[in-house]
A and B are shown apart, each in its own frame.
Chain A
């Protein structure tokens, strides 16, 4: 158990809908990262938040957005869902401080499996 929690575990929805995925980082971690894992693309970095602010963006679609709240939990919002958005969505966290020992190592949550029908 990494200490990172994600809800829900599974989500099935229809095309065109909107969903929200939730992540709570490990206690003390300031950075949250979102990843999408699909069979053909592998694990793809989407976006990072650090202490409430967006820090880095990867291959995130405009239909997707995220935020990190004052209590450091994060939400990933996916809208106008398409069949191709079906994937495992992972959240990871770390301290991400220049002098922190876990600067690069990221701890992954169990993931949310999204199925778009």
Chain B
């Protein structure tokens, strides 16, 4: 059974801090790992990673995948209150549906 574990479950930091969110996975026939941001509505897509060692970057957010150690990290630098959300990691493997982790609840305090 495919499995995704995210850590930490919850994180509270001050505005301006840098945070690192972790995602480890076990999946048969791995194809890709995706990061989503969920505020009070639907998850919105951040990154899709398929190759090890290649950093994907979008503004203050970046992510990298390690297919040997089966994990990914999501970094957010110079955090802002608008970054407060649940960050979800998901993988695609044997089935077409996404297998999600339980998410990291990030709270940015002003």
Contacts and interface: CB of A to CB of B under 8 A. Distances in A.
B107 to A, nearest CB: 17
A111 B92 contact: no
Interface residues of B, number: 22
A110 B41 contact: yes
A48 B99 CA distance: 13
A40 to B, nearest CB: 9
B95 A108 contact: no
B44 A108 contact: yes
A48 B48 contact: no
Interface residues of A, number: 27
Interface in A1-47: 2, 4, 31, 33, 35, 42-47
Contacts of A105: 34, 45, 48
Given A104-B31, A105-B48, A56 B42 contact: no
Interface string A79-96: 000000000001000001
- Tell me whether chain A's interface is mostly helix, strand or loop, or mixed: strand
Given A56-B95, A104-B34, A43 B100 contact: yes
Contacts of B34: 104-105
B97 A42 contact: no
Interface of B: 31-32, 34, 36, 41-45, 48, 88, 90, 92, 95-103
Given A33-B96, A45-B100, 6 more contacts: A2-B44, A42-B100, A48-B96, A56-B97, A58-B95, A111-B41
